[in-house]
Structure 1
């Protein structure tokens, strides 16, 4: 790891203190609050679908907060419907606006499924190297008890929020990686910057949907390599990288869907996850005409392993 690659004062670290050792308070205490209030008066208005902004009781993203973000407690949130469904979470479109003003923004809200509905068929490898401090909690997660599954759900959300926050800071400072701004975290609900057309409410296309010309294809590849180098220098791999969790927003390639982010040093399979990420995206770019000399997965994997300090 190279310390100058990370913004002060906090940095990704290895050894005894990794990013997932510093769990949010709800993980340290072994409980997982549900997003939203138990007070029926705080729920959505049955006529308008509006509810008061949840900003006040959430963990917030990096400061300074972007100018477009509505943080006023007088704001109201309106769920505009589902943007995307997935095995572990659904993503909704939400408008946060201050009544009787021009202050408003669109947010993507990722809601992880609860312990009874989430699928855990492929999480064991990702969770290698992720540990909480209490042995009881580690045993519960290993045994996939109801309590353990809820702990795992919280770890997915917390890991994604932490990774996005750190990568957003790096991108804001150096411009070498682009991710959506992580607005807030409440339990297993993660609010993010909406990437797309705010007028139409249409999400930015996934990389799999775009058909760039040769120059555009090469530019997107170079952006991807820059992003992967940033991840590797942080000792991380995306863990599930594909053309379906990369968005093209304007001319920028944006990394999304990071709950399975892997510590390539602490995880015994870390190098394998990194190599698989590279192989999947290299195959896509090569199939669309990028010269094999550029999209050589073996060469890029070796470079990233060196950047991660494990070669």
Structure 2
């Protein structure tokens, strides 16, 4: 049972004749049981390396008293589903209406499915050169046991976590990674202002930018890809569907398949494919760009 032990206006100190000192009278109130679709924050349940990089944004809620509340499905995918999840600290001030919350934030909870529940299986070309941290897990994955399938799902979540953490630290425009726990990855919800408040930012493929903004988007795309290449990283599945148009800035998403440009034998092929996907979209909207020119420019950053 969890209790609220904060002092209330009627709490007081009174002398204790037997103890010869003042003692405190507290009003212990059991907090309400959590509703369906709620859980206590898992922030402190994960190891420190599974929590977001520092310095952390001010909006990250780290209180042990926070409650996670499911808000609904954001997007379903072939290998993972994304949900909106609110992490909030209940307001225990007795003068406030019941149900009020103090610090709160809405995040994206991306949950990877085990292999038997996926409609798409990642190509082994993406995992070339990757290592499984535990040899027992590696054997289970090779034998495709139930444990192995669960490990595989967690490996994709961990791979995306590592990519987001590294790229965020490098200054790349990606969602801030809040934490990873097994097959669940919590990250920043990228939004734009809509008619009814905050709304999920549209994918670049759904946007219709005017010429000036289109040119800015292309420069941002080149800069982001160059920054990844300088770090020896290739997105591996970059397209207008894996980039969000958040007002005047672009944010790169969906990063579980990132590959090592040099360590993966398919690295150069993936980079050229990323260049082709992005250049084709911009060219179709009237911008004179070429994927081969972009590829050559990026290669100059790589070596």
TM over 0.5: yes
Aligned residues: 258
> With structure 2 as the length reference, what TM-score do the two structures score?
0.79
**Are 1:236 and 1:308, in contact at CA under 8 Å, matched by a contact in 2?**
no
Partner-residue secondary structure (3-state), 1:127: coil
Q: 1:48 to 1:151 in 2, by over 3 A?
A: closer
**Counterpart selection for 1:86 from 74, 77, 80:** 77
Determine the structure 1 residue equivalent to 2:43.
Answer: 55
User: 1 or 2, which has the higher strand percentage?
Assistant: 2
Q: 2-side partners of 1:121 and 1:46: how far apart?
A: 36
Determine the structure 1 residue equivalent to 2:56.
Answer: 65
Write the mapping of 1:11-160 to structure 2, written as runs, cut at 5 A: 47=35, 49-58=37-46, 59-100=50-91, 101-119=101-119, 121-132=121-132, 137-142=137-142, 144-160=144-160
Report deviation, 1:118: 2.5
Alignment RMSD (CA, Å): 2.1
1:245 corresponds to 2:236:
no
**Are 1:271 and 1:305, in contact at CA under 8 Å, matched by a contact in 2?**
no
Which blocks of at least 5 consecutive residues in structure 2 are unaligned?
1-32, 92-100
Q: 1:79 to 1:136 in 2, by over 3 A?
A: closer
Report deviation, 1:200: 3.5
Q: 1-side partners of 2:223 and 2:65: how far apart?
A: 40
Report deviation, 1:251: 1.3
**Are 1:278 and 1:300, in contact at CA under 8 Å, matched by a contact in 2?**
yes
Determine the structure 2 residue equivalent to 1:281.
Answer: 278
Q: 1:236 to 1:269 in 2, by over 3 A?
A: same
Q: 1:145 to 1:269 in 2, by over 3 A?
A: farther
Larger Rg computed on CA atoms? 2
Determine the structure 1 residue equivalent to 2:6.
Answer: none
**Are 2:261 and 2:267, in contact at CA under 8 Å, matched by a contact in 1?**
yes
Q: 1-side partners of 2:36 and 2:266: how far apart?
A: 49
**Counterpart selection for 2:186 from 188, 191, 194:** 191
Report deviation, 1:146: 3.7
Q: 2-side partners of 1:133 and 1:72: how far apart?
A: 30
